[in-house]
């Protein structure tokens, strides 16, 4: 007797092989979207079915959509070929545009390679944040091109009549005045404001005492305790008949609810968002941000510095706690010079020229108090912010002390810092131990070795997140403002710095930075090499993104 073994070639056996099991061989009609060689089919199809369930639900209710989906499945190879071709054509076209823009060779090469090798992601990214050419959106009210404008002409004439223009006594002043198209003025009184308590207490007092107008410009305005406190005060002044005008950056204040803005406008406050990325259908404006923080009251006092309007600067929130930051309040002709920056921005947004402001400067003290207002932005003829910092560093003889939250300089600035140190200048850079920008924090590690080799000393501020933007050069100049040491501030953002040549103010900045350095830890040049390989790779990758940080 012999038993017949089942033959795998028999029709019944083959049919049994073709019968799909419930868990292992069921294929989704959408499986063409994902071809993962080493992922079991049932896992692939389960994930796809779950992800596409909402889409199928919509298709089930709309016959036309079902037909479109079926047509796309039928012609998916042809559609894929068309998509790839269009993507690479757009990448090539964007590459040509890159060549027409003013950017570093490294940045241009990085964009061109990305746009041509992987255009599917690089093209949308370039449209969003890649453009550096601002000519289309240039502000019409620039001091550099409007010397005949009645406001600027009147300001210059008033400064000359009151003998408030200081002579360009050295090369640095000559360069800076030509660069920003504004004069070094004298008769200013500047006071350093350290952290949020001093800054916002002084701001609230000045706003509450306003009689004519309040001009407020901020990169970030939050609807938190401090933001609402400021809003209530602005509404109060508007109801008293004081003109209140507020500018905020659309990107920086993207979390600001419409109810906050409505409370202001309904009570007589004029509010506008600066450089809205969707105002004219363009998405490229998101790359150009108004990073200025400026408050002017009655044309008598002006506040400039690093503090935005948020609880993190006054009370401390989340894991970073209370930010360490610096502001400055000035009286004197620097107020009118700072007012020019606000008027330019207001005109760019509204088309309105604010001529009926206080444009006649008055000296705050009889002698000294020399200072320069340095507004910078992508509409400038030159990279004003970059050249401002480079000139200060190059002019140094004894020391250059820098405090910045985001240290991602370009090669020009790195070379300038190293040359200053090799000349024997005491170059110190204070950056945060903890940061709110992971990319900038990682990128900062990549500079340590080459800076340390040239003698540049880098310190990490340990107690909390340091957000101040300060530079001290010798005993000759100290500048406080909004510009960071990164490509965004150097070339893409609208920034504002106040450079003071006043001995008393310089001494105050020196004492402040000395106290801050006591709470820092010196960073060794081999700090990155001591880290694991994964961390080093993250740092190198972050450095490649320096042009857009």
Locate the DSSP E strands across 409-536. 426-432, 457-461, 470-473, 477-481, 485-486, 495-500, 520-522
Please list the alpha-helical segments (H only) found in 491-532.
503-517
How high is the mean pLDDT in each 10-residue block of the chain (549 residues)? 45 44 43 48 64 65 71 76 83 80 68 80 73 49 46 84 89 93 94 96 97 98 96 97 96 94 96 69 65 97 97 89 96 96 88 88 85 91 93 97 96 96 98 92 92 96 96 97 94 94 96 97 89 89 73
* 495-500 vs 371-376, strand pairing mode: antiparallel
In the prediction, which pLDDT does 23 show? 40
The CATH 3.30.870.10 domain(s) of the chain lie at: 138-548
φ, ψ (nearest 5 deg) of residue 44? -60, -45
Q: Are 338 and 329 in contact (CB under 8 A)?
A: no
pTM for this structure? Answer: 0.80
Angle subtended at Cα 217 by Cα 213 and Cα 222, rounded to the nearest 5 degrees: 115
Q: Rounded CA gap, 273 and 284, in Å?
A: 16
Question: In terms of Cα–Cα distance, which of 435, 230, 232, 208 is closest to 314?
Answer: 230
Task: State the catalytic residues.
Answer: 291, 293, 298, 467, 469, 474
In the prediction, which pLDDT does 149 show? 65
Q: Are 365 and 500 in contact (CB under 8 A)?
A: no
Tokens representing residue 327 in the block: 């502001």
Helices (H) and strands (E) in the chain, counts: 20, 17
Sign, CA dihedral 135-138-140-146, equals negative
In the prediction, which pLDDT does 515 show? 97
Q: Residue 318: left if φ>0, alpha if ψ -120 to 50, beta else—which one?
A: left
Tell the CATH topology of 138-548: Endonuclease; Chain A (3.30.870)
In the prediction, which pLDDT does 34 show? 45
In the prediction, which pLDDT does 344 show? 86
In the prediction, which pLDDT does 19 show? 43
| Residues 191, 197, 203, 205, Cα dihedral to 10° | -100
Q: Are 274 and 249 in contact (CB under 8 A)?
A: yes
3-state DSSP assignment of residue 387: helix
Q: CB under 8 Å to 15, separation ≥6 — which residues?
A: none
Question: In terms of Cα–Cα distance, which of 268, 290, 327, 315 is closest to 479?
Answer: 327
């Amino acid at each position: 007797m012999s038993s017949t073994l089942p033959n795998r070639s028999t029709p019944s056996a083959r049919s049994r092989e073709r019968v799909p099991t419930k868990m292992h061989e069921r294929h989704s009609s959408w499986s063409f979207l994902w071809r993962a060689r080493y992922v079991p089919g049932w896992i692939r199809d389960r994930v796809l079915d779950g992800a596409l369930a909402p889409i199928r639900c919509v298709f089930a209710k709309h016959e036309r959509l079902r037909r479109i989906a079926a047509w796309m499945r039928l012609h998916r190879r042809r559609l894929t070929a068309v998509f790839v071709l269009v993507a690479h054509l757009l990448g090539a076209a964007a590459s040509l545009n890159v060549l027409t823009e003013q950017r570093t060779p490294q940045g241009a090469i990085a964009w061109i390679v990305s746009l041509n090798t992987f255009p599917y992601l690089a093209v949308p990214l370039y449209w969003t944040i890649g453009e550096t050419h601002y000519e289309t959106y240039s502000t019409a009210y620039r001091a550099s091109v409007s010397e005949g404008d009645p406001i600027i002409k009147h300001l210059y004439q008033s400064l000359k009549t009151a003998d408030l223009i200081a002579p360009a006594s050295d090369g640095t002043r000559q360069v800076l005045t030509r660069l920003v198209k504004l004069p070094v003025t004298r008769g200013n009184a500047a006071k350093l404001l350290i952290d949020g308590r001093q800054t916002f207490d002084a701001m609230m007092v000045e706003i509450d005492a306003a009689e004519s107008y309040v001009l407020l410009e901020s990169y970030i305005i939050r609807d938190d305790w401090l933001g609402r406190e400021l809003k209530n005060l602005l509404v109060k002044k508007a109801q008293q008949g004081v003109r209140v005008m507020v500018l905020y950056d659309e990107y920086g204040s993207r979390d600001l609810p419409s109810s906050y803005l409505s409370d202001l406008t309904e009570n007589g406050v004029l509010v506008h968002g600066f450089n809205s990325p969707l105002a004219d259908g363009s998405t490229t404006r998101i790359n150009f941000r108004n990073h200025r923080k400026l408050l002017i009251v009655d044309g008598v006092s002006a506040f400039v510095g690093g503090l935005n309007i948020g609880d993190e600067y006054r009370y401390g929130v989340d894991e970073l706690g209370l930010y360490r930051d610096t502001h400055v309040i000035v009286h004197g002709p620097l107020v009118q010079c700072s007012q020019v920056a606000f008027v330019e921005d207001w005109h760019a947004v509204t088309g309105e020229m604010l001529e009926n402001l206080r444009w006649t400067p008055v000296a705050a003290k009889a002698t000294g108090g020399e200072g320069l207002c340095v507004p910078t932005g992508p509409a400038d003829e030159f990279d004003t912010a970059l050249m401002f910092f480079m000139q200060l560093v190059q002019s140094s003889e004894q020391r250059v002390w820098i405090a910045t939250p985001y240290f991602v300089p370009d090669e020009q600035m790195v070379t300038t810092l190293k040359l200053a140190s090799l000349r024997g200048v005491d170059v110190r850079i204070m950056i945060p131990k903890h940061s709110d920008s992971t990319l900038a924090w990682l990128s900062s590690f990549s500079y340590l070795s080459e800076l340390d080799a040239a003698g540049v000393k880098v310190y990490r501020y340990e107690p909390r997140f340091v957000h101040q933007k300060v530079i001290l050069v010798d005993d000759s100049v100290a500048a406080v403002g909004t510009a960071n040491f990164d490509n965004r501030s150097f070339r893409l953002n609208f920034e504002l710095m106040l450079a003071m040549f006043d001995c008393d103010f310089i001494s105050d900045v020196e004492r402040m930075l000395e106290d801050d350095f006591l709470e820092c830890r010196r960073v060794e040049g081999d700090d990155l090499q001591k880290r694991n390989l994964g961390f080093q790779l993250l740092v190198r990758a972050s450095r490649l993104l320096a042009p857009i940080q």
